Structure 1
C-alpha cells in the first residue's frame, strides 16, 4: 500500500538530481571499461570493433539493471527517487482506469471517490515536486469541487494511502 509522504520540493529535486548523476557516472564508467575490455580481449587492432563496443555498453546496461534492483534501490541516497517512482506508478495505476473511476464517482461510489481523492492529492504533490505549476491551477479547482462533494457525502477526505482493494473493486464493476 503506497502512502503519500510530505516532501520538501527543493530538497527532493536536489536529491533526485544527485542520485541521477551518481547513476549516470556509474553507467558511463561501466560502459567505458566494459567496452574497452571487450575490444582489448576480442577486437582487432585497427579493425572494426563496433560490435565489441556495443556489446560492452549492452553488458553495462544489464549490470546497471542488476545494481539498481539489487543494491542502489535500497540506498538512502536513492530514497527520494524511489518515492517519486512509486508515486508516479501509483498515479498511473489510477490513470489506466480513470474512465471507470469517473463513471463510478458520478454514481457516488465511496471507493471511487476515495480513489479520485488520492489521485488528486498525489498528482498535486507530483506537480509540486517536479515544479510543474502550469497544470496546478486547474487541478486545484477540480480538487476543491471533489473534496466538497466528498464532505457532503460524509466521506473522509484525507486519502493519503492507495488501497489496492479500491482498484480491484473498480475493475470488478460491470461497465
Structure 2
C-alpha cells in the first residue's frame, strides 16, 4: 500500500466543501430516487417493490456519480479527510498490540502512534472540534512524545505506511 503523507488542510475550506458536497449528493439521491420510482411505477404499476427499486437505483446512480467525481481537484480536501479517517481506523484496530510495543521502545510502533495522535488532532481540527476532552488519549500522546524524546526521535512524523501495521497483527 502507498505511504500516506500528512498534509496541512484549510479546515474552513474542508467544512464548506464537505457541507456543499453532502447537500448536493443528498439532493441528487432524492431527485434520482423519485425519478426512477416514477418511471418504474408508470411502466410496471404502482407498488412498494417498484418504489423501493427506484430508491435503490437512485442510490446506485448517486454512488456511481460520486465514484466518477471523487478524483476531481475540487474534492482534494474531502478526499484527504476520507483517507485520513480510513488510516486512523486501520491504526485503531491495532492499538491493543501497538501499546505494548511502545513500552518496548519499538520505534515503528512509536511512529505509528505518533501518526495516530497527529491524525486525530488534524481530523478534530478539520471538523471544528477539540481533542482536549480525552484525558486518556492526551496522556498516551504525552507518553509517546516523552519516549520519542528519550530515544532521540523527532517529535512528529510526516507520513504513515499501512504495511508497517502487519507486524503488529494479533496471532
TM-score (norm 2): 0.88
For residue 70 of structure 2, give the secondary structure of its aligned residue in structure 1: helix
Deviation of 1:134 after TM superposition, in Å, equals: 5.5
1:83 alignment partner, one of 69, 77, 80: 80
Aligned partners of 1:55, 1:94: CA distance in 2, in Å?
38
Corresponding residue for residue 2 of structure 1: 4
Assess if the C-alpha contact under 8 Å between 2:87 and 2:162 holds in 1.
no
Assess if the C-alpha contact under 8 Å between 1:124 and 1:136 holds in 2.
no
- CA deviation vs aligned residue, 1:142-170 (integer Å, no higher than 9, x gap): 43332222021022333121112321222
Q: Which moved more, 1:86-95 or 1:126-135?
A: 126-135
1:18 alignment partner, one of 20, 42, 50: 20
Corresponding residue for residue 65 of structure 2: 67
Matches within 5 A, 1:150-161: 150-161=148-159
Deviation of 1:77 after TM superposition, in Å, equals: 3.1
Q: Structure 2: which 5+ runs fail to align?
A: none
Aligned partners of 2:88, 2:156: CA distance in 1, in Å?
16
- CA deviation vs aligned residue, 1:114-143 (integer Å, no higher than 9, x gap): 000000000011111112225456345543
Q: Check if 1:27 corresponds to 2:29.
A: yes
Corresponding residue for residue 93 of structure 1: 90
Assess if the C-alpha contact under 8 Å between 1:127 and 1:136 holds in 2.
no
User: How many correspondences in the alignment?
Assistant: 168
Assess if the C-alpha contact under 8 Å between 2:41 and 2:47 holds in 1.
yes
Deviation of 1:80 after TM superposition, in Å, equals: 2.0
- CA deviation vs aligned residue, 1:10-35 (integer Å, no higher than 9, x gap): 22111110111111111111111111
TM-score (norm 1): 0.87
Structural RMSD (CA): 1.9
Q: Which moved more, 1:118-127 or 1:161-170?
A: 161-170
Q: Structure 1: which 5+ runs fail to align?
A: none
Assess if the C-alpha contact under 8 Å between 2:4 and 2:161 holds in 1.
yes
Corresponding residue for residue 99 of structure 2: 102
